[in-house]
Amino acid sequence: MSEIAGHARVVIIGGGVVGVSALYHLAKAGCTDCVLLERNELTAGSTWHAAGNVPTFSSSWSIMNMQRYSAELYRGLADAVDYPMNYHVTGSIRLGHSKERLREFQRVVGMGRYQGMDLDILTPEEIRSRYPFAEIHDLTGALYDPNDGDIDPAQLTQALAKGARDLGAKIYRFCPATGARREGDEWVISTVKGDIRCEYVVNAAGYYAREVGKWFGRDVPMMVMSHQYMLFDEVPEVAAWTAEAGHKLPLLRDVDSSYYLRQEKNGFNLGPYERNCKAHWVTPDDPMPEDFSFQLYPDDLERLEWYINDACERVPLLGTAGLTKNINGPIPYTPDGNPLIGPMPGVPNAFEACVFTFGICQGGGAGKVLAEWVMEGETEWDMWSCDPRRFTAFCDQDYTIAKGMEVYGHEYAMHFPHHAWPAGRNKKLSPVHDRIAALGAQFGAYNGWERANWFARPDDDTSEAATQTWRREGPWFAAVCEECEAVRDAAGILDLPGFSRYRVEGPGARDWLSTLITGAVPKPGRIGLGYFADAQGRIVSEMSIMAMSEDFFFLITAATAQLHDHEWLLTHLPEGLGVKIEDVTEQFSCQILSGPKSREILSGISDADLGKHWLTHQSARVAGIWCQLVRVSFAGELGWEIHSKVADTPAIFDAVMEAGKPHGLKPFGMFALNSLRLEKGYRAWKGDLSTDYTVLQGGLERFVKWDKAEFIGRQALERERQHGSKKRFVTLIVEAGDCDAPYMSTLWHDGEVVGETTSGGWGHRIGKSIALGMARADLAIAGTRLEVEIFGERFSATVQEDKPLWDPANERLRA
Ligand SMILES: Cc1cc2nc3c(=O)[nH]c(=O)nc-3n(C[C@H](O)[C@H](O)[C@H](O)COP(=O)(O)OP(=O)(O)OC[C@H]3O[C@@H](n4cnc5c(N)ncnc54)[C@H](O)[C@@H]3O)c2cc1C
């Protein structure tokens, strides 16, 4: 008889903390027919040597959710599975050196409070009282996280493994997977001990995930960094303090200097994320070994010198301790530093739970999320920040290495709203890139496409340093204001390469699309927004549907949604229906011409019928070149989107610019577009529109056609309509200070948290700070006064009528 099962419902490849947590959560969810394959002993990859820090801090809502869940799980795990382990909840102090850093902390305190965590801001003196050995003279304050701690990663993994085994799941150690193939509806995973057939497979192979991905035809976007921490000898003062206090010192994180310093027994553990960092296994002379189980890289202390000195200045006691051991291990990175958890792009019944940079603190939550993906096909929390489909084909190895190194070297950096990270740029350039660069464009990358964020005037400061602020105003502010005014009073042009688009054609296409969206499918010649809901009525996507004929459509969606939306369409296409779906993103581009003078500008250079109404489209010529002219405007003015073949973009751009000269046409950028769309209440995908909200909560009832045949999400939405929504979308005018409300700022009413913002910014046409968000339903009534907590300060805000702040009757759009 074979040593291993020949069949399982789910096979997980990789027995690090993440794979084992996935196994545990699947088993807990009732899926006990699961097998985990580990090539060596459990933890042999990155897990065995991890420092084991378990922070909850994150400025991302979903990552914070995952880490908070992990910390809660770990607290009860030893008892739940009867496996004792070392988990010290010590709290942590995150040091701030600047006002901007304190603002970041304040925002996270607000988010944490909303998730039920009691984070707090400390003054420098309070830091001293919690950590008497720290120098505080140059600090502005700190964030205190009482939930932070450290766990033994091997014990954690073994505890999860015990829990999974007790529930009936199987773990095969020293059983490497060696390949995968698809046979019928099954995966066959080969191992050194025989084949296992399964319904679902999970790649949880840590830093080997790219090798495992190849079996599925998948190029996993990842690279490997070398990461070190140093252990120091016992320090008598620390021992004495600990004996008296009865607990360990909290962990110190000096995020501006970029390291953590933790009490390890009665000594220290110092772990820097150094700027002068080192990638491994990225060049032919440094190949990735076949098997690196339980191995480390050679020590490389020179790289850490600055950090050691800095830490010794911060905690002079550290300078008295001898260095006893250095750990230098592989740590995998994706291009944005977040892991991959979710469907493997383009591969049926295959999932990823790999490339974890913080797998110990995220492992618990990741297991929950992965189990939900496998069992239910969707997750409780919107997990786009970790969805493998967020990286599309342009993320080649060079890009991934450049971004991975950038993220590692800035692991604790603040992510300012007007800052664009410089590494891995210019991957995809519009054919008019040089033209708009010459006009002063300051670019940002959108799914790899370079788009103008704003247009600098000759004396504007375009340095990266100037963007290191949470404040609304910076060198871009006056320029963006001028761009918005041009769109309002004359016209603006925005080159917008990279919209994702799919050609959907074939008999039955209309009826099929109707089952996917909540609303009506537009008639031929018209374009409309389609909202795609999941079975719970939650917002999966928003696409523009351009009907070319009864059964022929172009679906246009966000640049970053390219793989996600394509997959949603494909997986919901019934077999045998003769509808073809083709991704034609690379073939077309788009330029937005918007503003009251757009008609006059186009009339001289186009044969189009410019009297056609709002939400129509037509095949036309601009400057003698074919294009599809679409009468819509995300900016909320009279205007057209000019969709053309990519290669034709320059001729159209030049002709429009020339024709626009006498009319005051100006190029505008994404910052202006964001301001303009906020004034219209137009939602942005994965900010305002996410699976954290249902279509009804999102205030999109006018896009639900109750009297049509079945559509996904209908039953849930009908139930919600009967019982009422708990939350409702609101537009707020905020009496803000010098910052607009960032994503996930909390809303207050009568001393209670009653909701959150989903986006915010300055409306240049109305001269006010706007926030879009979700409030308790009984408060989502025009005129209600709320407060928005922006970086720790509460500002008055008023709920607006449920219509656009600018041009409420859409008269300018219809002009
Ligand atoms: C020095 C250092 C310190 C760190 N400190 C922390 C910390 O304090 N907190 C934190 O959250 N994170 C920390 N990390 C990161 C953490 O170690 C990783 O994020 C985490 O261990 C990843 O877990 P994993 O399960 O995804 O991958 P891994 O632990 O690498 O597990 C993958 C497993 O897959 C197995 N495998 C691979 N290929 C196959 C195959 N073909 N068949 C079967 N099995 C296979 C491997 O043997 C391995 O056991 C640290 C990392 C380093 C390098």
Encode pLDDT of 502-538 as tens digits.
Answer: 999 999 999 999 999 999 999 999 999 999 999 999 9
The pLDDT of residue 1 is: 43
Q: What is the pLDDT of residues 36-95, one digit of tens each?
A: 999 999 999 999 999 999 999 999 999 999 999 999 999 999 999 999 999 999 999 999
User: Looking at ligand 1, which atom is closest to the CA of residue 331?
Assistant: 53
Q: Check: CB of residue 764 under 8 Å from CB of residue 745.
A: no
Question: From the CB of 17, is ligand 1 less than 6 Å away?
Answer: yes
> d(Cα 358, Cα 50) in Å, to the nearest integer?
9
User: Looking at ligand 1, which atom is closest to the CA of residue 329?
Assistant: 53
> d(Cα 347, Cα 345) in Å, to the nearest integer?
6
What is this structure's pTM? 0.97
Q: What is the 3-state secondary structure (H, E, C) of 211-259?
A: HHHHCCCCCCCCEEEEEEEEEECCCHHHHHHHHHHCCCCCEEEECCCCE
pLDDT of 8 higher than 50: yes
User: Whose CA is closest to atom 20 on ligand 1?
Assistant: 359
Question: From the CB of 122, is ligand 1 less than 6 Å away?
Answer: no
Q: Which of 57, 155, 227, 331 to mutate to test the pocket of ligand 1 (most atoms within 8 A of CB)?
A: 331
Question: From the CB of 190, is ligand 1 less than 6 Å away?
Answer: no
Q: What is the pLDDT of residues 631-641, one digit of tens each?
A: 999 999 999 99
Q: Which of 42, 47, 303, 369 to mutate to test the pocket of ligand 1 (most atoms within 8 A of CB)?
A: 47
State how far Cα 107 lies from the chain centre.
Answer: 17
Question: From the CB of 203, is ligand 1 less than 6 Å away?
Answer: no
Average pLDDT along the chain = 97
Question: From the CB of 262, is ligand 1 less than 6 Å away?
Answer: no
Q: What is the pLDDT of residues 632-667, one digit of tens each?
A: 999 999 999 999 999 999 999 999 999 999 999 999
Question: From the CB of 74, is ligand 1 less than 6 Å away?
Answer: no
User: Whose CA is closest to atom 38 on ligand 1?
Assistant: 205
One DSSP character per residue, 716-728 reads HHHHHHHH--SEE
Question: From the CB of 171, is ligand 1 less than 6 Å away?
Answer: no
Burial class (CB in 10 A: 0-12, 13-18, 19+), 506: middle
Q: What is the pLDDT of residues 119-170, one digit of tens each?
A: 999 999 999 999 999 999 999 999 999 999 999 999 999 999 999 999 999 9
Q: Which of 21, 46, 412 to mutate to test the pocket of ligand 1 (most atoms within 8 A of CB)?
A: 46
Q: How confident is the model at residue 3 (pLDDT cuts 50, 70, 90)?
A: confident
Question: From the CB of 40, is ligand 1 less than 6 Å away?
Answer: yes
State which H helix or E strand residue 588 sits in: strand 588-594
Q: What is the pLDDT of residues 442-458, one digit of tens each?
A: 999 999 999 999 999 99
Question: From the CB of 773, is ligand 1 less than 6 Å away?
Answer: no
User: Whose CA is closest to atom 16 on ligand 1?
Assistant: 359
User: Whose CA is closest to atom 3 on ligand 1?
Assistant: 50
Question: From the CB of 158, is ligand 1 less than 6 Å away?
Answer: no
Neighbours of 365 (CB within 10 A): 27
Provide the phi-psi class of 636: left if phi over 0, else alpha when psi is between -120 and 50, else beta: left
User: Looking at ligand 1, which atom is closest to the CA of residue 175?
Assistant: 43
User: Looking at ligand 1, which atom is closest to the CA of residue 19?
Assistant: 25
Question: From the CB of 602, is ligand 1 less than 6 Å away?
Answer: no
Please list the residues that pair with 13 across neighbouring strands. 37, 203
> d(Cα 778, Cα 724) in Å, to the nearest integer?
10
Q: How confident is the model at residue 2 (pLDDT cuts 50, 70, 90)?
A: low
Q: How confident is the model at residue 722 (pLDDT cuts 50, 70, 90)?
A: very high
C-alpha distances out from residue 320 to 234, 235, 316, Å: 10, 7, 7
Which residues are CB-contacts of 150 (< 8 A; sequence separation ≥ 6)?
Answer: 51, 52, 53, 54, 87, 88, 90, 251, 262
User: Whose CA is closest to atom 22 on ligand 1?
Assistant: 359
